[in-house]
Chains A and B, each alone.
Chain A
Amino acid sequence: MSLNAEQTGSSDLVSRVPSGPVAEMWDKHKFDLKLIAPTNKRKFTIIVVGTGLAGASAAASLAEQGYNVHAVTIHDSPRRAHSIAAQGGINAAKNYQNDGDSIHRLFYDTVKGGDFRSREANVYRLAQCSTSIIDQCVAQGVPFAREYGGTLANRTFGGVQVSRTFYARGQTGQQLLLGAYGSLMRQVGLGKVTLHSRREMLDVVTVDGVCRGIVMRNLVTGAIESLAGHAVLLCTGGYGNAYYLSTNAKGCNVTAAWRAHRRGAYFANPCFTQIHPTCIPVTGDHQSKLTLMSESLRNDGRVWVPKTPGDKRAPNTIPEADRDYYLENKYKGFGNMVPRDVASRNAKQQCDAGRGVGTSGKAVYLDFAEAIKRLGQKTIEEKYGNLFHMYHKITDEDPYQVPMRIYPAIHYTMGGLWVDYNLQSTLKGLFVLGEANFSDHGANRLGASALMQGLADGYFVVPYTVADHLATSKLPPVTTDSREFKAAVEEASFRTKQLLGIQGRRSADSFHRELGHTMWDYCGMSRNAAGLEKAIGKIRELRAEFWTNVKVLGHDHELNQNLEYAGRVADFLEFGELLATDALTRNESCGGHFREEFQEDGEALRDDANFCHVAAWQFQGDNKPSVLHKEPLTFDEVHLTKRSYRE
């Protein structure tokens, strides 16, 4: 099979990264951005889709400034967004621990952690904003962990050698989201934000080439509704559920991003998916999702497997001499705290070598016995109580007594819609925030950086950059009665009716599961050209079958969860092909993208000469090959070196 893509080689992507030293870029840029006068802000309407960390923080900040905001969520409440499930923490270069941290070090760690596939300027800005995020969240009443003296506590995360992670037990995401949710609800109460809950975005609407609104389905009544405004912000998360089994919530989907992509927003680096090393292993075919055990557990838990393949003794009866603490042995400087991609790959290698544990042989141990002995069970309980509780509930095993069994699973997606320095996509007027964009994590995201990015984008970046768009663009009055909106509504209704009309024999879920198997088998922790080509073929076949054989019951004018789900699966079936195509095109290994053909001692082998770029894909039409655009990446501050965690 030939490559799906036509490579253009040339780049028409304007990243709008300011000139000058990276440390001064954001300040300079903020000054250069046009402002909207306070009294004029109320004349503008901004639509924010998604109410996770990025969406809630953006909606709240923009409303605080005086804009009229529409906030849209597929859930009954903004608080349900999957940011809520982030466990471990949020990074910030506060250097409260006096251990040598700085904005520059957080920047450096993140660029290196991303295996030199992120945009330096964005990462630097992220590190700069990180400190203000903590201040903002503390002021909102987020109950972060504290030391006895009343100051903020920190812990360590993978891929770094300082303690810069702020946390609230094992539920930091929940606390940060509830903080942002509080700010959002305050604006709802003040009438500055109109909340549209149980609404799913089905399309974006462009008028004269500028994104001016969205089409959404009212999930309760089934009505296809639309909203018009002056800018649209997509804060709709990642696409991990393309793999069916992931640590994402069941409702996480690619639909909003994919629909925008189809309307002209380029999709960047879709093959950069993060496989998290510490998840609870799969138990059977019935499994509907995977559960993450926070990376923070590796602060105290030690990863090991039996030295002899096929050693089926109970873990507590295996003597020290027969255990291989393979991360500690291989990565002396970082030990168990290597970044996620490295830890995951090593777990897979151990299991492939027959040293995996548990009934399936697809797990390694994460052992707390030593930490419990050193710190006492009470301390461990205080730090990780809710995670241990969750593990116990799911597996029926008590991790205080026996080591946890863990295995990697799809967790986060670094790829996303391409955005410039202003977080604006290639579709003018459409901004993309948080996990939904591609910008800050390169080929691998470091732990505790997702929360940081979502909030940086929402609280501190987009409020400035949206203003510039509003001030400099021609935005004639548009209402939802206009031709463009009516056409988009028509199209969305048609698609809904189409799904209901097929009346085939297979449920949407069965298609999704099959897609997930294909993605995981050929496009998961390790990939190769032959497998990826096979995957692309399989996905195309499955997509064709979907549109003739899916069975969706019920009507379009009611709450119909099956119909919602089918629409999302349909988009995953289109998106999956792009993901595999991107993986096939990127003939190198970097971060979470591991191509078996490109490796050195089992570590990823980058090809900076040919692939030091962002791959941004342009949609050409149904079943037509996408066009690849490349944004070259330059590294002026952090020099391109081999990424190693062995020292």
Chain B
Amino acid sequence: MNWVRQTLLRNWLVRAISTTIGQKLVMGATGLLLCGFLVAHLAGNLLIFQGTEHYNRYAKMLHENELLPVAEAGLLVLFVLHILLSFTTASANTAARPIGYYGKHSKLSGGTFVHAHNYMFLTGVLVLGFTLLHLSDMRFAHLNLRLKYDSTLDPAAHALHVLHDPISAPVYLLGSLVLGFHVSHGFQSAFKSLGLNHPKYTPFLSKLSILFGIAIGLGFASMPFWYYFAGH
């Protein structure tokens, strides 16, 4: 195995990506792209509030696009990279401090507010679980990996069915909020990891990031809330 490693490390890209900085660069880049996906995904999903027919039309359009498999494959790569690296960096980070402190206190100003950055791995794992559940609910259970869109399908009805489920609805609500919490740090952190940190832009990006997290979290959570908790 070691010679495989050595051979791979002869490549400049592998070598760069295998450093801690390289890993964070890739995590930042994949994270940002995934944020882009979240925006598109949320925009599509929110159509359900306009009526089931709008939602179905959007689903149809999406699934009739022949490039969808390419996009999905790309998304899969982004997810896998982001997740794999989160596990490798997290385990390296744990190993970097074998003996912990008796008690550790932040010196950051801003006091006791819960910092999302301290829970990135935990929230990331929760988001991963939620994503798998969501995929099995929406992508595999209903669409069955069919490439051709079948006019008999009614994705909106299926979505509403899931959102009205007494177990799924709270899970979707919480999952959405955790996702929002995760990206509220991830969005701005990605810029820093990619090398953008400047007194001119960073304060703005930090605020934008929190707003982004809130928008994503509340945006996705609005659906289970509206259909299950508000009883529509």
Q: Is chain B in direct contact with chain A in the complex (CB below 8 A)?
A: no
Binding site for A on B (CB under 8 A): none
